[in-house]
Amino acid sequence: MPQDHRPTKSVRVLLAEDQGMMRGALALLLGLEADIEVVAQVGAGDEIVAAAVATRPDVALLDIELPGRSGLDAAADLRDEVPDCRVLILTTFGRPGYLRRAMEAGAAGFLVKDGPVEELAVAIRRVLTGETVIDPALAAAALSAGPSPLTARERDALMASVDGATVADIAVKLHLSESTVRNYLSSAIGKTSTRNRMEAVRAARQQGWL
């Protein structure tokens, strides 16, 4: 394999980005690479798996914060539904918790959007060869930050609080009793060292735990 990791045939790429202008610009720039072909573009997370099944991309380039379903959740789905597709997370939010969750979901790479498109093209080629590509500064931050202290249920309770839902609403959504929901929220507030659940949501988001 040459040092620039160029494959012998075009790399088929699926691009998931909710901002239309950004999505179009990325598709255009990647399309200028002789060995990269953007075969699908989607603007919502719940469209990713269907598009991947239909087009069979080699690499899925996913944003994290997407309508319908997050790129991290979609990455886990792709691992099961289209196992030959390598996932590369590309996001504005370089949060340590996001990196850990991306790796747990089976992503092969994690980059922030402030890098040049040439580096992105190289990263796409590298993950196709089986390498893992991670932004070095973010990798160091993730190691120092440690894993999320939240349990899966505490995270679910916080996620259900994002839109200001009441405890009763959350209980119905999660099929739990109201007292159990209060316990999960109280525990999450304590673990995030905050005063209430909305502060806990903000703190957990800043760390990439939600």
Q: If you write DSSP's letter for every residue of 155-190 in order, what string do you get?
A: HHHHHHHTT---HHHHHHHHT--HHHHHHHHHHHHH
pLDDT in tens, 83-135: 999 999 988 866 777 888 888 888 999 888 877 888 899 999 999 999 999 87
**What are the two backbone dihedrals, phi and then psi, of residue 13, each rounded to the nearest 5 degrees?**
-120, 135
pLDDT of residue 1: 40
- Ramachandran area for residue 115 (φ above 0: left; ψ -120 to 50: alpha; else beta): beta
Whole-angstrom Cα distance, residue 209 to residue 159? 10
CA end-to-end span of the chain, whole Å? 39
Q: What is the pLDDT of residue 30?
A: 93
Q: How sure is the predictor about 7, in pLDDT bands with cuts at 50, 70 and 90?
A: low
Distance separating alpha carbons of residues 115 and 97, to the nearest angstrom: 20
The whole-number pLDDT of residue 118 equals 84
For residues 95 and 75, give the distance between their C-alpha atoms in angstroms, rounded to a whole number.
Answer: 17
pLDDT, one tens digit per residue, over 27-85 is 999 999 999 999 999 999 999 999 999 999 999 999 988 999 899 999 999 999 999 99
| Residue 99: predicted pLDDT | 80
pTM of the model as a whole: 0.67
Q: How confident is the model at residue 137 (pLDDT cuts 50, 70, 90)?
A: low
Quote the crossing angle between the two packed helices 167-174 and 178-191, to the nearest 10°.
Answer: 110
Question: Tokens at residue 55, please?
Answer: 């087009």
**Cβ contact 158:148 at 8 Å:** no
Bigger pLDDT: 3 vs 23: 23
